[in-house]
Structure 1
């Protein structure tokens, strides 16, 4: 007999699964979350928390704990063949674009513990040692077979099942989604170390040379870092037999790192794949279950978290507010194109920094260290670089759920951030749900429409900073629960607003 234990069954309790559960629970949707592992991860796999994730985390009061428990990296340095070539301040690049113009280092093991604790505080416990054995869709629900460590099996009924179960996703395999792509030939090592060096100064360092790349990610103001580097020559044939001593010569010689302790060491290969579908019926894929790529730029975990938040509010709209199931098609329409672009971009960057050959070596060690500081002084170039890395450039302009434009802002864009009198225009976004912003004067018909549809309306007196950010004076911006612009209207018109709701089956 099936047990109905939640409207949504989440398989996998990594960051994306935990974030999905947290957002659904906050939006009033019952969830059940299971994981085959006996406990949270104990190694700090993903490190970087990007600015866009911190912005979204304000909705559940997660930003402050991440910042308090993490470490903000304010600059990155470029080395070439053991010589320091440039230092670029992230704060100078991102200032005025986001309240978080830096890279936050918050190791994944601590990140998962924070999320799981918050979920438990909300009354939802991760069910460990519980594996998905299979599922089928029938009569408007999913019947999932779950296996427990003691050999017991059960059938769980849910309205939807979400695969947040990583690169070897059982949910993806069951729905038959292809996972095209490949595996890079390079072998990488990762080591969390303590020691002394000019490169252990609390900043990010990248060392380029003729045959290798080495990145140093600060994990403290001084003396602690993660090293990520390539393994070359015959050693790469059997990486499972390697130790840190086998691969550390370059870090010790080029960056003058004196290692006093190695806290963790591992080797791995990097894959690049995107699932050919993110949804089949009542089953969805999120995070590494539907896209994996190189670690260039620290995008992986943040992309999975973005997937989860995008899907959460849509599931809530269907399950709680009666929106049509077709609304859920917009999840794949918005997130899969981004995943494909991201894999393509990181693939190009990865191939460039690891390419062999005389020309590639000259470009990597001679041209790049000279060009990067010059580009950092060009406002357009440095803004694009920061927006791309921070994921604040991500938009859904071409997806069907978004419409209109006002100023430089289009439906599907992230709302531009503007500092205001010690605060910012993102403060109301900490309240999950639909809302509207007007920068300038609010027309009565717009105010009446918001009141009739119980849409929170926030009005800001006009200032030049809004125009500089791309906002239009007196325009109407309807914001989705995930804080992206749903509809931008230069001339507020209730008929236009109602038409948007009808076209998308929404009832606010």
Structure 2
């Protein structure tokens, strides 16, 4: 497709999961971006596999969740194998029950995520311009001028904003001269997308195998008997060109203790892993998201999900600025909120990965003798199990230190900056069950009042919202009732008291007040968020 436009409010460079999510989110707010990619088309390789609960919550808000659930499956659990023998088995059955509508780890390939988001873009008449390269980029105070190569033609395009979602080798990041600090892991690795005839692992569990020669993993894919197989390359094969799966199989079988029976090999590749992070996520009118901003080991299935959340965090802020509804300083909060998340993730995955890969004697002792017992103990402890799920599912990510929060509350459990808790709500008027996340399904901020308000006060509040924030605030009111007592307990609301909160478009709480005060609410929206 030939690119004819000369100007766009937002140019997105890169049509992987992060870039596609960025485009999809902007479309929800009425912004029509241009999205380009140097590839010939969307990937048909499975790549990333796990979709965590926080990403599923985003898909639910977008109205796409049914398709995601139908096209994938939940992992049943995690099985650890040491030197060919099962050492521990951890069931994922309802591991996150009560914490999210999706209390599991969902297996849904990156290629399917991309197809899902591409279909969303197509329905909103937003094409991807494939085989289009960013050649150069120059910024001024008012715009960004880019030179592109599209369909064999040189094109100059002016943009109000540019999003670099173009992966680890980001052209945007290089054009901005932003350092990508970090290192490359010493070992080489392989990845195979295969169909296996092995009943012993056909139980829906992820099977991780550790041995003297390294590690291997079998990840069940949604398709029956199909698996993602990963592992480290043995030293003698590290530098061999044209390596084939058949040459790796003996080492895989030695580490796993399984006679691997391959029926079909759909994809096999070798690669090196990196742990790097951009020194900045923003340079004037340009932003970095996803792998362009941070890359790390695949421990815990965090990479693609983190990129999706980068886009989710930035899109509503940028859309508000482009639409003229939010002041420019809101954009500073993107890097302020997401860089600490990326740094913590980088450090955590690096530590775990180094333990797995270490062949030092004390690491071997830990993995062989202590790790199975530690894992079983931790998983049998409800508090630890829930904390681990929150971390892996990314529902525990909070922006409490963000400058766009305001906490005017004595509450200690839920604070401004936290993700809105998933709590079921019984609607007394409609006599039906819903939940707080469902209340936040519309684009924009959600104003929630919990507690008893006099009818006249409720009318005054609704009128104030209509007059001052008709296109900004979606309003919900929950009076106390026996069936909703757990909601009031979660927010630490005393009897005969009220609490008001404003939930950001990304379902993080921005404002909590122990009363309903229109002056303080207006101050938050005008002076802290920057609503115009």
Which TM-score band (shorter chain)?
over 0.9
Unaligned 5+ residue runs, structure 2?
427-432
Range that drifts further, 458-467 or 400-409: 458-467
Matches within 5 A, 1:244-283: 244-253=245-254, 254-283=257-286
> Whole-Å Cα distance in 2 between the matches of residues 293 and 245 of structure 1?
28
Question: Is it true that 1:477 corresponds to 2:501 in the alignment?
Answer: yes
Equivalent of residue 60 in structure 2, options 43, 58, 66: 58
How much does 1:109 deviate?
1.5
- Identify the range of structure 1 (173-182 vs 59-68) with the bigger mean alpha-carbon deviation: 59-68
How is 1:485-504 mapped onto 2 (pairs within 5 angstroms)?
A: 485-504=509-528
* Residues 1:143 and 1:77: Cα distance change in structure 2 (over 3 Å): same
Q: Do 2:71 and 2:222's aligned partners in 1 also have CA atoms closer than 8 Å?
A: no
CA distance in structure 2 between the partners assigned to 1:441 and 1:237 by the alignment:
70
Number of the residue aligned with 2:465 = 450
Match of 1:303 among 294, 306, 309: 306
1:359-418 residue CA offsets vs partner (Å, 9 max, x unmatched) = 101211221112112111112211110001000011111111112143511111100111
Whether the 8 Å CA contact 1:211–1:354 is kept in 2: the answer is: no
CA–CA separation in structure 1 for the residues paired with 2:453 and 2:447: 11
CA contact (8 A) 2:282 2:288 kept: yes
2:377 is the alignment partner of 1:359: no
- Residue 496 (structure 1) shift: 1.7
Matched position secondary structure for 1:334: helix
Mapped contact 1:201–1:221 kept (Cα < 8 A): no
Q: What's the counterpart of residue 114 of structure 1?
A: 116
**Moved beyond 6 Å, runs of 4+:** none
SS at match of 1:33: strand
Distance 1:314 1:54 in 2: 21
TM value normalised by structure 1: 0.95
Q: CA shift at 1:164, angstroms?
A: 0.6
- Change in 2 beyond 3 A, CA 1:199/1:496: same
Alpha-carbon distance between aligned partners in 2 of 1:230 and 1:442, rounded to the nearest angstrom: 62
1:319 shift after superposition? 1.0
1:139 to 1:273, Cα distance in 2 relative to 1, 3 A:
closer
Describe the SS at the equivalent of 1:93: coil
Contact 1:313–1:481 (CA<8 Å) still a contact in 2?
yes
Report the equivalent of 1:465.
486
Number of the residue aligned with 2:169: 168
Matches within 5 A, 1:299-448: 299-404=302-407, 405=409, 406-420=411-425, 422-442=433-453, 444=457, 447-448=462-463
Q: Is contact 2:450–2:488 with CA below 8 Å preserved after alignment?
A: no
Shift of residue 35, structure 1, vs aligned partner: 0.8
* Structure 1 pair 183–78 and aligned structure 2 pair: CA distance change class (3 A): same
3-state SS of paired residue (1:228): strand
SS in structure 2 of the partner of residue 186 of structure 1: strand
Task: Kindly provide the CA deviation profile for residues 409-433 of structure 1, in whole angstroms up to 9, marking residues without a partner as x.
Answer: 1111100111345532211122111
> Structure 1 residues 85 and 59 mapped into 2: Cα distance closer, same or farther (>3 Å)?
same
- Taking the aligned partners of 2:464 and 2:344, their CA distance within structure 1 comes to 38
Q: Report the alpha carbon displacement of residue 468 of structure 1 after superposing the two structures with TM.
A: 5.5
SS at match of 1:274: strand
**How far did 1:261 drift?**
1.9
506 and 200 in structure 1: CA distance in 2 versus 1, 3 angstrom threshold: same
- Partners of 1:409 and 1:488 within 8 A in 2: no
Cα offset for 1:482? 1.0
Q: Give the secondary structure class of the aligned counterpart of 1:326.
A: helix
- The C-alpha deviation readout for 1:44-85, integer Å capped at 9, x for no partner, is 111111100010112221221111111221322222222223
Cα distance in 2, alignment partners of residues 469 and 229 from structure 1: 43
Paired with 2:253 and 2:234, the residues of 1 have a C-alpha distance of 16
**2:216 equivalent among 200, 209, 214:** 214
Could you tell me whether the CA contact under 8 Å between 1:416 and 1:471 is conserved in 2? no
Aligned equivalent of 2:192: 191
TM-score, normalising length from structure 2?
A: 0.91
Residue correspondence of structure 1 range 9-20 to structure 2 within 5 A: 9-20=11-22
CA distance in 2, matches of 1:53, 1:107: 13
- C-alpha separation between the residues in 2 aligned to 1:85 and 1:301? 29
Report SS of the residue matched to 2:139.
strand
1:77-107 CA distances to partner (integer Å, 9 max, x unpaired)? 2222222233222233211111111111111
Q: Give the deviation of 1:505 after TM superposition.
A: 5.1
Contact 1:79/1:369 (<8 A) preserved: no
Gaps of 5+ in 1: none
Corresponding residue number in structure 1 for 2:37: 35
RMSD value over aligned CA atoms? 1.9
Distance 1:365 1:209 in 2: 9
Write the deviation string for residues 181-212 of structure 1: whole angstroms up to 9, x where unpaired: 00001111111111223113222121222331
Stretch moving more, 461-470 or 357-366: 461-470
> What is the Cα deviation at residue 306 of structure 1?
0.4
Partner of 2:429: none
